[in-house]
């Protein structure tokens, strides 16, 4: 009986993230438009785009290989699985222990790996630009992310998201410098990972400044749809991670009843909304930086993460 | 009834006379081989029945090994020299008269070395070594080219000085022994000396050892007394290079060891160790560096002989059973390996018509057997397993490092540098694009590979008899 | 008698050292050869004296060899050679005479020091003799080192060898002395009238070692 | 067991003369490779058996040092490495059955190949210093012969030369280490060394020597210089062995000395090892990123992975020194598991490179591209290898690095300031190297297999033969299995860690869903199987749904050319241009990399060119000066060959006077 319920919750979680992610993107776009005093596209626009893309036929470059056609599914699956393992409204998901935070990051890493390969597959120079820049960014973002994980894991004594969330909510954490550092670094990494301003501009189509868009330049139809959906999932995932680690309040305990579940869902929505608004504000208030300023930005994140870890180690051995 | 001891002396002596008389190089070459073979067989019989030592000749664990080694290498070298000489005659570098002279000298040399090994009398030993030197001088000069004469002359002068110094040392030893043992022959007989050595006058012994070290050290080729060695190896006929590196150095070293034993037995005398260690290290490192700028293949391997003599002397200088054992093993392995290398080099030089390294290349392509033979030899001489020298180097280094870390590090440095030098040249000789004439060699590979086979086996398995013998000697050497 | 024998032996040995010094000082080949003859003469005398006081008759043979062979045959032969080679004018030394003499002094002193450390039970005569002999040996070597001409090098070697014989005869009752001196005479014979000078003369018109050095292997 | 293993080794050695005998015949290579395949398989089975039945078996031969004999021993550690060696050996032999037929000078490869395998086995089996060193140096020697097999290229000879020198340096260092352990009376048997507990200072010296000796063979920075030269020079299946297996044998040597022979470690050893490991990892991958020779890139990656392994070993040392056996077991397991993984996927990748080399005759990625169309299967297995080595789930490379991270997360419990600061830094280095590795293999795979062919050679490549493919598929499958069922392998390592640090990781295979739980489930867990199933399921569901519900129409069209018609393949991103952003971020400091662009004035017809110069600072700082010194000294001393006789006499004379003076002033 309990098993079935757990399965149900796991399934619900997977569907939830899948359905919410376009909405979140649409919401962010909307807010940004509002901030720019524009009407902006309707909230549901992303859904429409996806559906339309799905319907369209795929135009494939002659030089594209079988890998090129497989990659969108890999990317989508990897990201989706990663997203579905993050406790959103209820901790203690059935399969949450099948991948801890490190594994989660690695999953996203493999998604990125294949995306970069896709950029190189067709053999145009734009894809090359995109992939080479992407891996350069990743080569800094991933260590930073891992440093953040170290910090949190050392505080929570675990890399298991459910456990970490439970520990954070238990309140015995107190306020720690390293936590602040970690949060700051995590936000920076999240921005970089999701190709948001100031690292990359999701809306641009000027090749020379593109990173993410350049890689997917050759994609069309359902493939493009999957990749877009994957990136939306990724955004959602990062916001939920931040939410469940730094604002773990409201998440329903594993054995929680209907009421707690309801609270959990509600708080989760709220967190997403807040995250989206903050992101939009940040993006509108800052300009995109040159590609080769990015290392400095991410290097700062890495340093912050390392600093947080070091402080912790020191405080431990005191 | 002549016993084995006199046998190893008589046969070469008779053969020398015979060969001097007989014309025709083919026959004499065969005779030469036969004589050396006989000598070798008789020497082997020493292990079976050990004749008792008289006032002039002795046989014990120490020299038994050396006699067998000497006669064996002498035999294989004579086989090699047969094919070598025939080629020299055809190419007109040697005339039959000189070949006759050469063979006579070869036997004389054998006689002299055997005498030096079996002599029970320090004076006799000295005479024998002088004789050996003179004969080799004559053979080095045999080509009568400018270089050969110059090498021989250099060898002659330096050698004579060495002889003189050694004699002075010998006299001093006698002086030291006389008060204890009394005048006359007794005071020059090994077997007597070693029994009484404890009571000798230490100061005299010290001075004596200095002179002996320098005198016989010149023959061993220790730096800075080595000058004659490279040129003598390079300019003489290759069989002689093989005998020089493989045997004569050993014989001189053998003499040195005898005297070291004497000093070791005397409590008050200075320890000969430090002197030998110093000279050994100098020779090893110096020779290792000298390998890099060599253009003449034979001269290069001559320098490598100096390096190995350095290692051996270092081992004996450090003393201790293990180190001495290693030293003895290294002497044996080195003489086998180095002579084999010279067999290969001799044929290579004949094929290529030159000794200049720059003019040979890609031997493993043009003459696979010779080429790989040389590669094998260099591997062996560089002290790489599974060949014999690795075992001795292993023992030398590992047994002394705990005692004298810094000295051993210098030694290891020398070994490494030497290895670098050897392989640097090997790359050009054996590998790469073939250069120079590529005529197939008409050569007898038997001696070379016989040596390599022994060295290889010894690298992984030593017969117990040999081991016990060496261990006894090592204990004697203190 | 004891004292007298000691003094005479001492005198002769000392004079041998003196003659070595004269050789070191002399830089003309002719004169050098004459002095070498003198050197051999003194050696013969001292050997004979040793033979007398040790009443070891076989030493007389050694003395005879020294007298006939070294003091007469060799010098004359060398005279011939240098005349034929036309290098009898004069010999240039590497080190100036003065420094050479100083070095020689130092060497003599050194040999004294080394030998006098020998404990006294080796009878004084032997010690003195050894000291002088060592000095002669070292001086001979010094001479070989400081001369550039092959003939003078040979002379140096021979005086060195005289020192050896002195030591050998000084060593009381040493066997094989005669044999050794014979062997050495053979050696010297090799050197002097030996193949080398001939061959060398066939090929180059000089015995100057530098001429030989031009043909060392690895240059070119 | 040990006896049977020795039989196997003997069989391998016996193959060498057969190879020489067969040199003429065309079927020689098949005979030799099939035979060595069978023997290595048998040896691998022996290894497995002795690992699982957990017995120590010894054998002694009357060889080696006469008074000692040659001792051989299979304990858990040896068994594990026997498996590694022969797994790699078997795969290489299988691959070579096809690959070797293209060898132009087989008689220079065949005799040494089986001896090489035999030597590596012997190193692992040896139980006394002498047989260990003989096998060790024999291993170097036979591989040297293989490196110079294609001796007509100068750089191969140079590679072999540098390799042999470094190998001998390492051997001599180990020789000194054993000399210290054995003492001057020579107890060369490993048992005796275990029994003797060396003094701290001595033990430290031994450790440093072992680090130099084994490290120079494993390729730790800065002793790595030979590795990227020698590994690519050999035929590809041998490169696979050198990179995938021999470096592991070197690791074995270090583990044997540091964990087994030396007894209790001191805490600061671990600092040394950790620092070396971290630096090696990052430097290795950075070097690799700068390469455009495929095989050399792979060789540099070996350096990186060795660094990762050493990080694991260093952590294990630290935990062991502070008496935390469970944590030590975790760290050691991580290291050894990575040993296994790396041997698998590095062999796989080198096979792939070899297949490419055969098909195109090119090692230079700038001349390749688009091979995925011509050789799809090779491309697929190579891709698997790339994913595995980039430490991406669900393949095996990720698991071992994940375990290493878990070990690092345990380190705050270490009561030592130095480690407290070092370990996080090392963790950062590890993370950095992992990310860079991914970047590097995007480059390697993308430039080699994707895009459009850059040369006719690449355009006309042909898929490689079935034997080679079989070998590669086998290894690829192994990567997957080890990735999704790591528990089996971790449990298999339990006896090893038990023997070396006294404890082992909790039993894994019993857990439901085959999860991996290093310490406790609440702490961290990973389930490769589930992740794999999830990803495949959701991916295929998505595909199915879309093709059913939406459209599955597809049209081929020209790539977006941005308005420039028929772009030539030269306009694609090359290896170096792909690396340019990273070179700009890291290279400027690490390699003093500089880009010099020459733009001709407007109207000039000369082409604009961009030249990139990169300095190998380690070589310039460490190796070049030594070489220069030796050359200088040799030149100087060489004068002594050209003195006059008189001068030589002067040498003798002064030596004599000197010694007499010594006597004169002797007390």
Residue D368 and residue D510 in one domain: yes
Question: Which one, of B428, B419, B304, lies nearest residue B363 by Cα?
Answer: B428
B-chain residues near C215 (CB < 8 A): 146-147, 149-150
CA distance D489 to D344: 13
Instruction: Give domain status of residue D226, yes or no.
Output: no
Residue D593 and residue D635 in one domain: no
Q: Exposure pattern of B376-405 as b/e (b: 16+ CB <10 Å)?
A: bbbbbbbbbbbbbbbbbbbbbbbbbbbeee
Question: Which one, of B280, C35, B295, B393, lies nearest residue D168 by Cα?
Answer: B393
| DSSP secondary structure of D47-60 | HHHHHHTT--EEEE
Domain span including residue B399: 271-478
Tokens of D401: 């690095």
- Interhelix angle C177-193/C195-203, rounded to 10 degrees, is 10
CA distance D422 to D551: 55
D-chain residues near C212 (CB < 8 A): 645
Say if residue C149's pLDDT is above 90: no
Question: Which one, of B400, A121, A110, C142, lies nearest residue D388 by Cα?
Answer: A110
User: Up-side HSE of residue D640: CA atoms within 13 Å toward CB?
Assistant: 23
pLDDT of residue A175: 65
CA distance B264 to B194: 10
Of the pLDDT bands very low, low, confident and very high (cuts 50, 70, 90), residue C210 is low
Mean of pLDDT over chain C: 78
CA distance D530 to B267: 80
Residue of B nearest to C118 (CA): B203
CB contact under 8 A, B394 and D655: no
ipTM of the complex: 0.91
**Going by DSSP bridges, is the β-strand pair D609-613/D594-598 parallel, antiparallel, or unpaired?**
antiparallel
**Going by DSSP bridges, is the β-strand pair D554-557/A58-61 parallel, antiparallel, or unpaired?**
parallel
Best of C100, C213, C220 to mutate (most D CBs within 10 Å, chain D): C213
Cβ-Cβ pairs closer than 8 A, B with D, add up to: 170
Domain span including residue D644: 618-665
**Nearest CA-CA distance, residue A158 and chain D, Å:** 4
Question: Which one, of D71, D101, D655, lies nearest residue D355 by Cα?
Answer: D101
Instruction: Tell me if C73 sits within 8 A of C158, measured CB to CB.
Output: no
Residue C120, chain B, CB below 8 Å: the answer is no
Residue D443 and residue D518 in one domain: yes
A-chain residues near D415 (CB < 8 A): 317
User: Up-side HSE of residue A205: CA atoms within 13 Å toward CB?
Assistant: 3
Average pLDDT value for residue range C32-40: 91
Residue B180, chain C, CB below 8 Å: the answer is no
CA distance B199 to B205: 11
**Nearest CA-CA distance, residue D536 and chain A, Å:** 7
Which among B163, B175, B299 is the nearest to C122, CB-wise? B175
Residue of D nearest to A99 (CA): D526
Tokens of D10: 């003997």
Instruction: Give domain status of residue D442, yes or no.
Output: yes
B-chain residues near D645 (CB < 8 A): 153-154, 157-158, 227
Residue D509 and residue D630 in one domain: no
Indicate yes or no: pTM above 0.80.
Answer: yes
CB contact under 8 A, B127 and C179: yes
Residue B227, chain C, CB below 8 Å: the answer is no
Instruction: Give domain status of residue D392, yes or no.
Output: yes
Are 3 or more Cβ–Cβ pairs between B and A shorter than 8 Å?
A: no
Best of A50, A81, A107, A221 to mutate (most D CBs within 10 Å, chain D): A81
Highest mean pLDDT among A146-155, A267-276, B354-363, D195-204: A267-276
Of the pLDDT bands very low, low, confident and very high (cuts 50, 70, 90), residue B228 is very high
**Nearest CA-CA distance, residue C87 and chain D, Å:** 19
**Nearest CA-CA distance, residue C197 and chain D, Å:** 15
- Greatest alpha-carbon pair distance for chain C in Å reads 66
Which among D383, D387, D539 is the nearest to A77, CB-wise? D539
Residue D335 and residue D420 in one domain: yes
Instruction: Give domain status of residue D461, yes or no.
Output: yes
Question: Which one, of A137, A120, A138, lies nearest residue A129 by Cα?
Answer: A120
Best of A128, A151, A219, A224 to mutate (most D CBs within 10 Å, chain D): A128
CB contact under 8 A, D646 and C117: no
Best of D304, D448, D573, D587 to mutate (most A CBs within 10 Å, chain A): D573
Tokens of D611: 């030249």
pLDDT of residue C201: 43
Q: Per the structure, how many domains does chain D have?
A: 3
Residue of A nearest to D520 (CA): A158
CB contact under 8 A, D657 and C144: no
pLDDT of residue B256: 93
The partner residues of D61 in beta bridges, in order of sequence, read D70
CA distance D486 to D491: 9
Are 3 or more Cβ–Cβ pairs between A and C shorter than 8 Å?
A: no
Residue D493 and residue D527 in one domain: yes
Say if residue C195's pLDDT is above 50: no
Which among D641, D645, D657 is the nearest to C110, CB-wise? D657
Least-confidence region, from A24-33, A90-99, B51-60, D70-79: A90-99
Which among D538, D556, D581 is the nearest to A132, CB-wise? D581
Q: Is residue B386 reached through a cis peptide bond, with omega within 30 degrees of 0 on the bond before it? A: yes
**Nearest CA-CA distance, residue A155 and chain D, Å:** 10
Say if residue B225's pLDDT is above 80: yes
CA distance D653 to B352: 40
Q: Per the structure, how many domains does chain A have?
A: 1
**Nearest CA-CA distance, residue B13 and chain D, Å:** 33
Residue D527 and residue D505 in one domain: yes
CB contact under 8 A, D137 and B464: no
User: Up-side HSE of residue C65: CA atoms within 13 Å toward CB?
Assistant: 19
Residue D627, chain B, CB below 8 Å: the answer is no
| DSSP secondary structure of D628-661 | HHHHHHHHHHGGGGG--HHHHHHHHHHHHHHHHH
**Going by DSSP bridges, is the β-strand pair D554-557/D70-74 parallel, antiparallel, or unpaired?**
unpaired
pLDDT of residue D411: 82
D-chain residues near A84 (CB < 8 A): 534
pLDDT of residue C217: 45
Say if residue B300's pLDDT is above 90: yes
pLDDT of residue A174: 66
Residues of chain D with pLDDT under 50: none
Best of B278, B401, B406 to mutate (most D CBs within 10 Å, chain D): B401
CB contact under 8 A, B165 and D656: yes
What's the CA angle centered on A190, arms A186 and A192, to 5 degrees? 120
Q: Per the structure, how many domains does chain B have?
A: 1
Residue D516 and residue D580 in one domain: no
Instruction: Tell me if B185 sits within 8 A of B156, measured CB to CB.
Output: no
Q: Residues 364..383 of B with a Cβ closer than 8 Å to D: which?
A: 364, 379, 382
Of the pLDDT bands very low, low, confident and very high (cuts 50, 70, 90), residue C193 is low
Instruction: Tell me if A97 sits within 8 A of D525, measured CB to CB.
Output: yes
Domain span including residue A310: 2-317
**If 0-12 CB within 10 Å is exposed, 13-18 middle and 19+ buried, where does residue D638 land?**
middle
Instruction: Give domain status of residue B163, yes or no.
Output: no
Least-confidence region, from A255-269, C186-200, D440-454, D534-548: C186-200
Residue of D nearest to C216 (CA): D642
The partner residues of B435 in beta bridges, in order of sequence, read B361
Residue D594 and residue D450 in one domain: no
Q: Residues 177..196 of B with a Cβ closer than 8 Å to D: which?
A: none
Q: Residues 43..82 of B with a Cβ closer than 8 Å to C: which?
A: none
B35 secondary structure, DSSP code: H
Average pLDDT value for residue range B269-285: 90
First to last CA, chain C: 66
C-chain residues near B234 (CB < 8 A): 217
Per DSSP, helices labelled H in D183-266 are 190-195, 200-218, 227-233, 236-241, 247-255
Instruction: Give domain status of residue B461, yes or no.
Output: yes
Summarised one tens digit per residue, pLDDT across range B437-448 is: 877 777 788 999
Which among D641, D645, D652 is the nearest to C209, CB-wise? D645
Residue with tokens 């675990």: A158
Residue B286, chain D, CB below 8 Å: the answer is yes
CB contact under 8 A, B401 and D63: no
Of the pLDDT bands very low, low, confident and very high (cuts 50, 70, 90), residue C1 is very low
CB contact under 8 A, C115 and B157: no
Tokens of D462: 């042909």
Which among C122, C141, C217 is the nearest to B179, CB-wise? C122
Question: Which one, of B259, B281, B265, lies nearest residue B404 by Cα?
Answer: B281
D-chain residues near C153 (CB < 8 A): 645-646, 649
D-chain residues near C117 (CB < 8 A): 663-664
Tell me the domain boundaries of chain C: 2-213
**Nearest CA-CA distance, residue D489 and chain B, Å:** 36
pLDDT of residue C207: 46
Summarised one tens digit per residue, pLDDT across range B88-124 is: 888 888 888 888 889 999 999 999 999 999 999 898 8
Summarised one tens digit per residue, pLDDT across range A116-133 is: 999 999 888 888 989 999
CA distance D252 to D540: 43
CB contact under 8 A, D420 and A154: no
pLDDT of residue D121: 96
Instruction: Give domain status of residue B436, yes or no.
Output: yes
CA distance C184 to C181: 5
């Amino acid at each position: 009986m309990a098993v079935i319920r757990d399965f149900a919750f796991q399934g619900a979680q997977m569907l939830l993230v899948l359905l919410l992610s376009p909405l979140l993107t649409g919401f962010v776009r909307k807010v940004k438009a509002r901030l720019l005093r524009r009407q902006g596209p309707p909230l549901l626009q992303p859904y429409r785009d996806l559906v339309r893309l799905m319907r369209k036929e795929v135009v494939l470059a002659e030089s594209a290989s079988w890998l090129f056609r497989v990659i969108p599914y890999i990317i989508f699956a990897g990201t989706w699985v990663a997203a579905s393992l993050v406790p959103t409204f209820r901790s203690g998901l059935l399969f949450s222990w099948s991948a801890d935070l490190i594994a989660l990051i690695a999953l996203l890493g493999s998604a990125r790996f294949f995306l970069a390969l896709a950029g190189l597959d067709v053999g145009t120079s734009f894809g090359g630009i995109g992939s080479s820049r992407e891996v350069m960014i990743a080569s800094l973002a991933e260590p930073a992310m891992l440093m953040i994980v170290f910090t949190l894991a050392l505080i929570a004594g675990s890399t298991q998201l459910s456990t970490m969330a439970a520990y954070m909510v238990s309140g015995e954490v107190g306020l720690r410098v390293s936590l602040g550092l970690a949060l700051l670094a995590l936000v920076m990494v999240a921005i970089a990972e999701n190709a948001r301003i100031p690292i990359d501009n999701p809306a641009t189509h000027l090749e020379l400044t593109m990173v993410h868009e350049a890689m997917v330049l050759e994609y069309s139809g359902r493939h493009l749809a999957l990749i877009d959906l994957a990136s939306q999932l990724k955004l959602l995932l990062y916001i939920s991670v931040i939410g469940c680690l730094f604002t773990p309040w409201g998440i329903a305990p594993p054995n929680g009843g209907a009421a707690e579940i309801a609270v959990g869902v509600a708080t989760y929505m709220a967190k997403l909304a807040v995250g989206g608004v903050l992101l939009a504000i940040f993006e509108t208030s800052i300009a995109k930086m040159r590609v080769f300023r990015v290392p400095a930005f991410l290097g700062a994140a890495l340093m912050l993460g390392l600093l947080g870890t070091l402080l912790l180690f020191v405080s431990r051995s005191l | 009834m002549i016993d084995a001891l006199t046998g190893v002396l008589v046969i070469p002596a008779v053969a020398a006379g015979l060969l001097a008389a007989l014309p025709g190089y083919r026959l004499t070459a065969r005779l030469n081989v036969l004589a050396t073979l006989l000598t070798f067989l008789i020497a082997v019989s020493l292990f079976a029945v050990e004749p008792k030592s008289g006032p002039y000749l002795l046989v014990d664990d120490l020299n038994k090994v050396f006699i067998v080694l000497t006669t064996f290498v002498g035999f294989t070298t004579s086989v090699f020299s047969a094919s070598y000489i025939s080629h020299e005659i055809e190419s007109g570098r040697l005339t039959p008269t000189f070949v006759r002279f050469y063979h006579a000298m070869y036997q004389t040399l054998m006689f002299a070395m055997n005498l030096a090994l079996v002599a029970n009398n320090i004076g006799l030993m000295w005479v024998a070594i002088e004789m050996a030197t003179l004969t080799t001088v004559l053979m080095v000069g045999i080509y009568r080219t400018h270089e050969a004469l110059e090498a021989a002359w250099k060898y002659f002068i330096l050698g004579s000085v060495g002889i003189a110094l050694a004699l002075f040392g010998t006299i001093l030893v006698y002086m030291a022994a006389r008060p204890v043992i009394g005048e006359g022959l007794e005071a020059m007989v090994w077997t007597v000396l070693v029994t009484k050595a404890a009571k000798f006058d230490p100061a005299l012994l010290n001075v004596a050892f200095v002179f002996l070290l320098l005198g016989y050290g010149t023959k061993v080729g220790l730096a800075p007394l080595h000058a004659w060695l490279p040129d003598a190896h390079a300019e003489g006929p290759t069989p002689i290079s093989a005998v020089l590196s493989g045997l004569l150095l050993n014989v001189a070293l053998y003499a040195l060891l005898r005297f070291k034993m004497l000093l070791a037995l005397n409590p008050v005398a200075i320890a000969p160790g430090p002197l030998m260690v110093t000279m050994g290290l100098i020779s090893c490192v110096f020779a290792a560096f000298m390998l890099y700028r060599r253009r003449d293949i034979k001269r290069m391997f001559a320098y490598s002989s100096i390096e190995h003599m350095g290692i051996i002397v270092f081992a004996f200088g450090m003393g201790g059973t293990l180190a001495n054992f290693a030293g003895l093993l290294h002497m044996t392995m080195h003489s086998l390996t180095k002579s084999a290398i010279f067999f290969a080099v001799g044929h290579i030089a004949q094929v290529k018509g030159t000794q200049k390294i720059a003019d040979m290349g890609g031997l493993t392509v043009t003459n696979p057997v010779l080429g790989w033979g040389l590669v094998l030899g260099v591997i062996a001489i560089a002290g790489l397993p599974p060949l014999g020298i690795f075992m001795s180097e292993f023992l030398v280094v590992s047994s002394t490092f705990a005692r004298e870390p810094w000295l051993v590090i210098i030694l290891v440095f020398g070994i490494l540098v030497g290895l670098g030098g050897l392989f640097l040249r090997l790359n050009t000789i054996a590998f790469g694009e073939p250069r120079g004439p590529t005529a197939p060699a008409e050569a007898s590979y038997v001696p070379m590979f016989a040596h390599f086979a022994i060295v290889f086996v010894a690298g992984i398995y030593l017969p117990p008899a040999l081991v016990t013998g060496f261990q006894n000697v090592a204990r004697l050497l203190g | 008698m004891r004292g007298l024998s000691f003094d005479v032996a001492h005198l002769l040995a000392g004079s041998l050292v003196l003659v070595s010094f004269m050789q070191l000082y002399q830089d003309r080949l002719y004169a050098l050869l004459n002095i070498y003859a003198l050197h051999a003469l003194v050696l013969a005398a001292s050997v004979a004296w040793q033979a007398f006081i040790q009443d070891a008759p076989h030493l007389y043979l050694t003395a005879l060899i020294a007298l006939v062979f070294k003091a007469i045959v060799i010098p004359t032969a060398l005279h011939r050679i240098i005349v034929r080679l036309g290098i009898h004018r004069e010999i240039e030394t590497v080190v100036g005479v003065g420094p050479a003499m100083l070095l020689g002094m130092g060497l003599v002193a050194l040999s004294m020091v080394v030998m006098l450390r020998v404990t006294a039970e080796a009878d004084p005569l032997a010690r003195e003799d050894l000291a002088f002999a060592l000095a002669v040996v070292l001086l001979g070597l010094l001479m070989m080192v400081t001369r550039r001409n092959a003939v003078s090098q040979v002379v140096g070697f021979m005086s060195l060898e005289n020192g050896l014989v002195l030591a050998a005869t000084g060593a009381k009752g040493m066997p094989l002395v005669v044999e050794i001196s014979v062997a050495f005479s053979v050696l010297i014979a090799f050197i002097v009238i030996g193949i080398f000078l001939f061959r060398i003369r066939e090929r180059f018109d000089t015995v100057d070692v530098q001429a030989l050095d031009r043909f060392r292997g690895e240059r070119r | 067991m040990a006896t049977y293993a020795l039989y196997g080794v003997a069989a391998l050695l016996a193959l060498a003369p057969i190879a020489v005998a067969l040199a003429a015949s065309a079927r020689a290579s098949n005979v030799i490779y099939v035979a060595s395949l069978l023997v290595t398989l048998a040896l691998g089975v022996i290894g497995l058996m002795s690992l699982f039945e957990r017995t120590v078996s010894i054998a002694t031969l009357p060889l080696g040092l006469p008074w000692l004999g040659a001792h051989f021993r299979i304990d858990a550690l040896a068994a594990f490495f026997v498996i590694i060696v022969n797994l790699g050996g078997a795969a290489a032999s299988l691959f070579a059955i096809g690959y070797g037929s293209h060898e132009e000078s087989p008689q220079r490869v065949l005799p040494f190949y089986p001896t090489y395998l035999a030597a590596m086995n012997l190193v692992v089996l040896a139980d006394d210093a002498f047989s260990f060193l003989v096998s060790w140096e024999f291993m170097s020697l036979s591989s040297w012969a293989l490196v110079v097999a294609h001796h007509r290229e100068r750089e191969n000879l140079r590679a072999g030369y540098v390799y042999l020198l470094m190998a001998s340096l390492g051997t001599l260092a180990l020789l000194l280490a054993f000399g210290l352990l054995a003492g001057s009376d020579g107890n060369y048997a490993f048992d005796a060394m275990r029994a003797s507990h060396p003094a701290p200072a001595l033990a430290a010296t031994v450790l440093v020597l072992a680090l130099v000796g084994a490290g120079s063979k494993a390729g730790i920075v800065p002793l790595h210089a030979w590795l990227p030269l020698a590994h690519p020079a050999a035929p590809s299946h041998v490169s696979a062995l050198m990179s995938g297996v021999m470096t592991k044998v070197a690791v074995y040597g270090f583990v044997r000395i540091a964990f087994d022979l030396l007894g209790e470690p001191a805490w600061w050893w671990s600092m040394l090892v950790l620092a070396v490991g971290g630096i090696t990892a990052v430097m290795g991958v950075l070097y690799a990123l700068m390469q455009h020779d495929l095989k050399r890139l792979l060789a540099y990656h070996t350096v990186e992975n060795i660094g990762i392994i050493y990080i694991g070993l260093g952590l294990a040392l630290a935990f062991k020194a502070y008496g935390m056996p469970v944590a030590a077991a975790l760290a050691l397991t991580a290291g050894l598991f990575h040993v296994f993984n790396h041997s698998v996927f590095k062999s796989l990748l080198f096979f792939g490179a070899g297949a490419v080399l055969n098909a195109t005759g090119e090692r230079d990625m700038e001349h390749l591209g688009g091979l995925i169309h011509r050789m799809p299967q090779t491309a697929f297995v190579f891709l698997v290898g790339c994913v595995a080595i980039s430490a991406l789930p669900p393949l095996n490379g990720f698991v071992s690095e994940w375990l290493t991270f878990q070990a690092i997360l345990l380190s705050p419990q270490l009561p030592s300031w130095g480690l407290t600061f070092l370990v996080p830094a090392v963790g950062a280095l590890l993370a950095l190297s992992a990310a860079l590795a991914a970047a590097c293999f995007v480059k390697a795979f993308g430039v080699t297999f994707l895009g459009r062919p850059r040369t006719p050679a690449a355009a006309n490549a042909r898929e490689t033969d079935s034997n080679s493919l079989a070998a590669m598929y086998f290894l690829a499958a192994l990567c997957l299995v080890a990735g999704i069922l790591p528990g089996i392998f971790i449990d298999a390592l339990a006896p090893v860690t038990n023997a070396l640090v006294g404890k082992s990781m909790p039993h894994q295979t019993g857990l439901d869903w085959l999860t991996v739980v290093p310490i406790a489930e609440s702490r961290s867990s990973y389930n490769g199987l589930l992740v794999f199933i999830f990803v495949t399921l959701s991916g295929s569901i998505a595909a199915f749904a879309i093709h059913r519900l939406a459209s599955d129409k597809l049209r081929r069209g020209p790539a977006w050319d941005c308005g420039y018609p028929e772009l030539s393949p030269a306009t694609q991103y090359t290896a170096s241009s792909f690396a340019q952003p990273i070179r700009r971020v890291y290279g400027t400091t690490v390699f003093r990399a500089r880009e010099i662009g020459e733009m001709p004035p407007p109207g000039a017809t000369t082409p604009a060119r961009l030249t990139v110069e990169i300095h190998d600072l380690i070589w310039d700082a460490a190796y070049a000066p030594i070489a220069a010194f030796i050359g200088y000294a040799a030149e100087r001393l060489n004068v002594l060959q050209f003195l006059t006789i008189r001068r030589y006499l002067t040498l003798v004379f002064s030596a004599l006077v000197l010694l007499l003076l010594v006597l004169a002033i002797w007390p």
